[in-house]
Every structure is written in C-alpha cells, then in structure tokens.
Amino acid sequence: MNSKETWIEEKFEIKKGRALKIRITKSLEKIKSEFQEIEVVESQSFGKILLIDGVIMLTEADEFCYHEMIVHTPLCVHQKAQKVLVIGGGDGGTVREILKHDRVKEIEVCEIDEKVIEVCKKHFPNLANSFDDPKVKVYCEDGNKFIKTRKNKYDIIIVDSSDPIGPAEVLFRREFYEAMHQALKDDGIVVTQAESFFYHEKIIKSLFSFIKEIYPISEYYYTMVPTYPSGVIGFTFCSKKYHPLNDFNQSEALKLTDLKYYNKDIHRASFVLPTFAKGYKG
C-alpha cells in the first residue's frame, strides 16, 4: 500500500465476485515475520485494523463481537473451569475476555508468531495488555506440536485461529482435534473458530465429519462481525460432558457486566442455525 491509496481491499472470494473495501487514513505498520505479513492500518470507520497476509483479523470497532462469543460461551457452560489454553489469539482479545472469569486460575497461550503479539501490544493495548496478567503464560510455538505434548491438562481449549491457509491450515485437521481431546480433562470443552456458514459449507462439513466421532457432544454456533466477509463467523463447540444449552450456567452469564455483545439470550440464540445450514454439522 502506497501513500496515495485510501482504501484496503480484502479479496476474500474475488473469483466469485466478492470483495470488501474499507477506507483507511494511514498505514501504521507493515512487517514480514517468519510466517506471514502483518499490517496495521487506521481506518475512517472502524478504527485500527489488523491484517494478516491481507486478511482482516480484527478491527477496534467490532472485535468484541468475536472475542466475547468465543470465550464466554464455553466458560458459561463449564461449571468449574480453572485452566484454559488458547491456541492462536496473538492479539490478546481472547485472553482479555477469559480474565473476566475470576475462577480461572491459569491461562496458557500458544501463538506461533511472536511478532503478532509484539505488533498488537504496540497498536492494540486494550487487547494485548492482557498478556501481562500474572495468570497468563505465553508460548511462541506451533500449536499443533504443542498440544501433542499435553495430556489431561485443560478444562477448556480455545482455538482462536485465522483461516485454514498457511500456518493455521493444520488446525482444521482430524489429528489436531484428536490431540486436543487427549489434552482435555474428563469434562473438558474445546471451542474453535470454524468459518462462516454462508461461504464455507465444505469446511464446516469436513470438520463435523470427524468431530462428531471424537467428541460426545458437538455443535456449531455463530456471531456477527460486520467487517468479516459475510458478516458472520462460526465456532465449533466440542465437549466431553457439558451440553452448550442443557448445561448453560445462566447465573455465570449474569455476573458478566462489562460486555457489549454476549448475554444469556444471545448464548442460546447463537446455536439456532438457518434452515440451509442445519445439515452442515451432520
């Protein structure tokens, strides 16, 4: 992007005639790490934007829609979660939300690219300052390899990943979900970023073709994020014991006051899928 350009364009499905353009006021930083290109821009309407390899990861204006839903949904279902692992999540938003649950005593973060953390601490302190909390321990390692060394260790695992390309591609494979199953305690829950039911039918069907064979309980839920391609992004909910609706702890949800998106009604509604998408999870 040169100084004369005033728009960024995310060509998420350009072959099918779809793209997203956002007016920007300036580029704040652009670096090439060992794994990917990381860029931060200032936009006219959405505040600062983080892009990875040209794909929008978050904006200041709507990041809460994603981070609140990926975190509070499992944490308001598990009755006694104290140890949580985040795979990915280098912007710090997921950790920020986990810290709102006082009963969580330990948070481990496995982010493959330490440069993402460095850039976000500089440009998104509201998110990345969460890494400085004494409950948090950060590992800059490959999440797929990291999880295979952990057995029966976590109450909840949250996979806050980018799309299934580049370093994140392996996080959408069966072997990764099997390794997470082994890393969970007997009543553990896994939640993962699982794309949009509008654009990614094949990916969602592929995930659930093996998830339902590994986990006794498996569901798909979603949130709305205006600056993501379809305005919708989904998650898998994979559990050894707890059902996301039958075991929903409404009193835990009501304790959360500093939120903009998640609430007890949104929790339940997020598992209600449109007719065309109901069959995607098998």
For residue 145, what are the CA distances in angstroms to 114, 176, 184, 214? 16, 9, 15, 19
Identity at 107, one-letter amino acid code: I
Under DSSP, the state recorded for 130 is: G
CB–CB of 111/94 below 8 Å? no
Identity at 256, one-letter amino acid code: L
CB–CB of 160/109 below 8 Å? no
Identity at 176, one-letter amino acid code: F
Q: Is 160 part of the annotated catalytic residue set?
A: yes
Structure tokens at 205: 């069907």
DSSP-derived secondary structure for 11-74 = EEEGGGTEEEEEEEEEEEEEEE-SS-EEEEEEESSS-EEEEETTEEEEETTTHHHHHHHHHHHH
Kindly name the residue from 160, 163, 186, 247 that is annotated as catalytic. 160
- Active-site residue numbers? 160
